């Protein structure tokens, strides 16, 4: 089963399950989880091949959906499920394959479509980092500047670099993620639909969810609602956390 962490009271409103995106971990969602947990229990997971969860040779959305279903069963579900990016696609796959596990669905800045960009360049940069010479994250940050010039992107990736007693290790199965990149960028074909409440939250400065994607979304999620968070990019929960929490809490409180 996936590694997960619980926040808030064990009782009360229906619990929320948070699924992070590629190269992330449940720890990335700690601040958001604590705020949402003021009103209801919240569980954050580490997806397979990320963080403290198990390592596997594959990373398909059907498998990730089954992983999330296992966590929900462990909580005596159903749960409200919130997923961002890769985690958003996994949450959609869960809603389409095991809808009885999902009461309400929230998808953060991703659509059920195939994307043409690739993140393999980041994997190459992480692989190329000489971990034997890294004793603190600041050293890794300097070393990654040559291949990744975006400071925010480096900071995000380095959250998955664990440095303990001068020894550095990536909390990511880079080989499996690289091999699965075509599947991660794609989305499976489903013949089912999820007709319960679904909210698609995007960043106004992000190109991940556009008006052209709405027919594909509504075909699978006919009750979908759409909200764009002003001034936010793909990492909308980090770019504008106050607005993100307000939108999520408002949707769940309907």
141 carries an active-site annotation: no
175 carries an active-site annotation: yes
Cβ atoms of 43 and 75 closer than 8 Å: yes
Q: Which of 20, 50, 84, 234 is an active site residue?
A: 234
Q: Look at residues 79, 106, 95, 108 and name the one whose alpha carbon lies nearest to residue 16.
A: 79
Q: Look at residues 174, 158, 195 and name the one whose alpha carbon lies nearest to residue 55.
A: 174
Q: Look at residues 99, 107, 97 and name the one whose alpha carbon lies nearest to residue 79.
A: 99
3 carries an active-site annotation: no
The C-alpha atoms of residue 132 and residue 136 are separated, in whole angstroms, by 11
Contacts of 122 (CB under 8 A, 6+ apart): 23, 148, 153, 157
- The first and second tokens of residue 76, run together, are 């005596």
Contacts of 115 (CB under 8 A, 6+ apart): 185, 186, 208
Q: Which of 85, 160, 202, 206 is an active site residue?
A: 85
Q: Which of 70, 74, 130, 175 is an active site residue?
A: 175
Query: What residues are annotated to the active site?
Result: 85, 175, 234
């Amino acid at each position: 089963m996936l590694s997960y962490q619980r926040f808030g009271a064990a009782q009360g409103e229906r619990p929320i399950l948070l699924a992070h995106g590629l190269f992330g971990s449940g720890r990335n969602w700690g601040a958001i989880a604590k705020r949402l947990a003021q009103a209801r229990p919240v569980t954050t997971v580490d997806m397979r091949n990320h963080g403290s969860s198990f390592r596997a040779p594959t990373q398909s959305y059907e498998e990730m959906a089954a992983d999330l279903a296992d966590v929900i069963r462990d909580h005596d579900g159903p749960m409200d499920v919130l997923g961002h990016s890769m985690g958003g696609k996994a949450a959609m796959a869960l809603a389409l394959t095991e809808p009885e596990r999902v009461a309400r669905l929230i998808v953060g800045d991703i659509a059920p479509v195939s994307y043409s960009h690739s993140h393999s360049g980041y994997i190459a940069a992480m692989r190329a980092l000489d971990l034997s010479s890294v004793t603190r994250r600041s050293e890794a940050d300097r070393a990654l500047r040559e291949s990744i010039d975006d400071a925010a992107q480096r900071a995000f990736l380095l959250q998955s670099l664990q440095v303990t007693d001068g020894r550095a290790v990536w909390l990511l199965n880079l080989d499996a993620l690289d091999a699965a990149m075509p599947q991660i960028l794609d989305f499976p074909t489903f013949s089912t639909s999820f007709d319960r409440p679904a909210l698609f939250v995007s960043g106004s400065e992000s190109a991940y969810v556009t008006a052209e994607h709405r027919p594909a979304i509504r075909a699978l999620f006919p009750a979908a609602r759409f909200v764009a968070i002003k001034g936010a990019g793909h990492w909308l929960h980090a770019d504008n956390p106050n607005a993100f929490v307000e939108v999520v809490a408002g949707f769940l409180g309907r």
